[in-house]
Amino acid sequence: MYSERPRSRGNNFSRHSHGVSVGPKRSFGSRPSFGSRGGSRFGSRKPARRNQSTFNDISRFVNKVTKAEEVEVFVPEHAFSDFAIHDALKAVILNKGYTTPTPIQDKSIPHILAGLDVVGIANTGTGKTAAFLIPLIHKVMIGIMAKRNEQVLIVAPTRELAIQIDNEFKKFTDGLNLYSVCVVGGAPINKQIRELRVHNDFIIGTPGRIKDLMEQGYINLSKFNTIVLDEADRMLDMGFVNDMRFMMAKMPQVRHTLFFSATLSKEIEQLIGEFLNNPVRVSVKTRDTSKNIDQDVVRTGGKDKLDVLHDILNQPECEKVIIFGRTKHGVERLSDMLSKRGFKADAIHGDKNHTGRQRALGKFKDNHIQILVATDVAARGLDIPNVSHVINYDLPSTYEDYIHRIGRTGRAGKTGKALTFID
């Protein structure tokens, strides 16, 4: 039992309780932006862009994305055994049980192996990390054999994503004598400095910490001829564009640049023009939302919002839940209130230190807690298996944030539920 209150067996997220409703269809063409929740007791990051009545349109939007057209079945051109990669690396991949590449891997790996700059357009959860790690690990292995310097810099917008990439790297380099250093803010910098002095085949990190270590003289990018900018759209949103330009300016003019983004905007196109040389564009055809995600809205109907959330979380099908809030303070407060009600919950947000965030993520992944309450930035790029529900307790700011949030569930062929609260 997660709660001290009696478990309710009613379907609290059906159309017949708590005022949950789904409206008529809406065209995708307008892509509405979701504004701030005015008057939220958990605070507001930004002023509302539109009046509250506009938010009710989310019900029509949710219904529409649920009915998105089917994607044609992908038939890969390659198996992992077909790729021209080092036999030892190929053996590791096959031993891990990987046989068939995902679409982004199938289309990207041959171009990266050929040394071409690549722009990859793909959402989180499509296998894009392996799409660049596998060919770059091969590249460094061949460089070592030829006694040629090959060093790789991988830049990610958040510490959680950087750590996730580093963990994936270690999985693919098991027994290969290749080393990475993960440099992220919030973690002890002296430990990272010590590691940089010994190993730096791959440096994986966040823009701020990489720049700090460059300015202190511990990272010299003039020796790095390969860079990966992962989730470049999010780095742009988070204000890292000048840091990206700073890093690129310190690298050799002749380099291998890989650029991954979930979206293409005018600003992103500008960066592609600045950073890449005649890149190959690889776009994986995906829907904005997975067919495996059942989406709905929850109208509180005058009831206390926290009580409605309590009843939803008491449902036996709510096995592993990510709840999104707008602010750091609000997320922490909501986590505390759920814990006081008997739920096993923890929070991740930007004000929480590195150790605390990793501890919370670890507990959630290992099923020691049922609920993770998170801000958008803290949860960016997380790949957590078996999330049964995503709950938007506070409305997201944009369409892209909504898509990113609900994409935490319904992964790897499993079904999930996404619920969005509306006053």
Q: Are residues 214 and 302 in the same domain?
A: no
Write down the residue that tokens 């470049």 correspond to.
232
For residues 156, 158, 160, 162, the Cα torsion angle rounded to the nearest 10 degrees is 20
Domain end, chosen from 283, 316, 348, is at: 283
When pLDDT is averaged across residues 176-187 and rounded to a whole number, the result is 92
pTM: 0.66
Shortest CA distance to 129 belongs to which of 98, 95, 104? 104
Rounded distance, CA 306 to CA 195, Å? 46
Q: Are residues 249 and 115 in the same domain?
A: yes
CATH number of the structural domain spanning residue 193: 3.40.50.300
- Name the token pair of 78: 């390659």
| pLDDT value of residue 62 | 62
Rounded distance, CA 107 to CA 282, Å? 7
Q: Are residues 359 and 260 in the same domain?
A: no
CA 12 to chain centre: 29
| pLDDT value of residue 379 | 65
Give percent above pLDDT 90 in the chain: 52
Q: Are residues 276 and 295 in the same domain?
A: no
| pLDDT value of residue 276 | 95
Q: Are residues 152 and 245 in the same domain?
A: yes
* Residue 365, pLDDT above cutoff 90: no
- Name the token pair of 393: 């307790």
Domain end, chosen from 283, 302, 319, is at: 283
Q: Are residues 135 and 50 in the same domain?
A: no
Rounded distance, CA 200 to CA 171, Å? 17
How confident is the model over 200-256, as pLDDT tens digits? 899 999 999 999 999 999 999 998 999 999 999 889 888 899 999 999 999 999 999
| pLDDT value of residue 285 | 54
Q: Residue length, the chain? A: 423
Rounded distance, CA 264 to CA 270, Å? 10
CB neighbours of 214 closer than 8 A, spacing ≥ 6? 220, 221, 246, 247, 250
Domain of 320 in residue numbering reads as: 28-69+288-422
Give percent above pLDDT 70 in the chain: 79
pLDDT class of 378 with cuts at 50, 70, 90:
low
Rounded distance, CA 52 to CA 44, Å? 14
How confident is the model over 241-290, as pLDDT tens digits? 999 999 999 999 999 999 998 888 889 999 999 999 999 999 885 554 55
Map residue 239 onto helix, strand or coil: coil
Rounded distance, CA 90 to CA 82, Å? 9
Report the relative pairing of strands 280-283 and 256-261 from DSSP bridges. Answer: unpaired
pLDDT class of 186 with cuts at 50, 70, 90:
confident
In a domain, 173, yes or no: yes
CB neighbours of 171 closer than 8 A, spacing ≥ 6? 96
**What value does the CA radius of gyration of the chain take, rounded to a whole number of Å?**
22
Rounded distance, CA 364 to CA 68, Å? 31
Domain end, chosen from 283, 302, 336, is at: 283
Q: Are residues 107 and 198 in the same domain?
A: yes
Q: Are residues 98 and 241 in the same domain?
A: yes
In a domain, 13, yes or no: no
| pLDDT value of residue 20 | 38
